[in-house]
Amino acid sequence: MERVSKIIANAGYCSRRKAEELIQKGKVTVNGKVIQIGDKANVSDMISVEGNFLNREDKEYVLLYKPRGVVTTTSDDKNRKTVVDLIQTSNRIYPVGRLDYDTTGILILTNDGELANLLMHPKSNVDKLYVVKVKGLVPPVMLKKLCNGVILDGKKTAKAQARAKKYDKKSNTSIIELTIHEGKNHQVKRMFEALGYEVLKLKRETYSFLNLSGLTSGEYRHLTPKEVKKLYNEVLNEKK
């Protein structure tokens, strides 16, 4: 038996915290009976959340090379293409974290709520490498500031890694590699803007040990069981 909140999260319906909120509000039943936080259920039990019977799908893990002009959501009120539209699946998968509309690169989608929550947790410390093209020639002193952290919303960002990959004096642009493990909203763009640099292009090259090898923009592949296990091990070890 498992806690019902964990079963709901693992099924991809919502986060475990949200599931507990729904349980508190009396919106979750097991075999027709309203439950309390901490209650457990069996695989054979009928679980209903907000009037919807829980569909316990097979776990699916997708690595997508997100192209530009696609939103990182499961639906969009402006009828723009979403990352889910790019993937052929009968499961209800959703993106882990977010990439901006004009940002490209690696993105994980899954219906494994437990792994998604672990990866997005502030203490997960998952390294993410971005390749950033900015207006202007970024000197070493500014790279050092990126590494030491910049002030966003009154708080200093965590230490990062930054190095210049290419300078183009003719176009007055720099290509910088920046590795961070936080996930603040629009963080990379805002870090450069805080130092006075406009981001022209942004691509996420790696997520932990995963990269885009073998994929072109818009393509995807499924993670192997070994890769999924390695992700779990990484985030669980970080939380200890």
Q: Which residues are catalytic, by number?
A: 100
Query: Of 180, 173, 123, which is closest to residue 149 (Cα–Cα)?
Result: 180
Q: Under a CB-based contact definition with an 8 Å cutoff, are residues 87 and 220 in contact?
A: yes
DSSP label of 74:
S
Helix or strand holding residue 189 (H, E): helix 187-194
Please report the beta strands in the chain, taking only residues with DSSP state E, as ranges in sequence order.
2-3, 28-30, 33-34, 40-41, 47-49, 52-53, 61-66, 94-95, 104-110, 128-135, 151-152, 155-156, 161-168, 173-180, 199-207, 210-211, 220-222
Question: CA–CA separation, 128 vs 125, rounded Å?
Answer: 9
Give CA–CA dist 17/6, Å, rounded: 9
Q: 3-class secondary structure for 83-149? A: HHHHCCCCCCCEECCCCCCCCEEEEEEECCHHHHHHHHCCCCCCCEEEEEEEECCCCHHHHHHHHHC
Phi/psi at 120 (nearest 5 deg)?
A: -90, -5
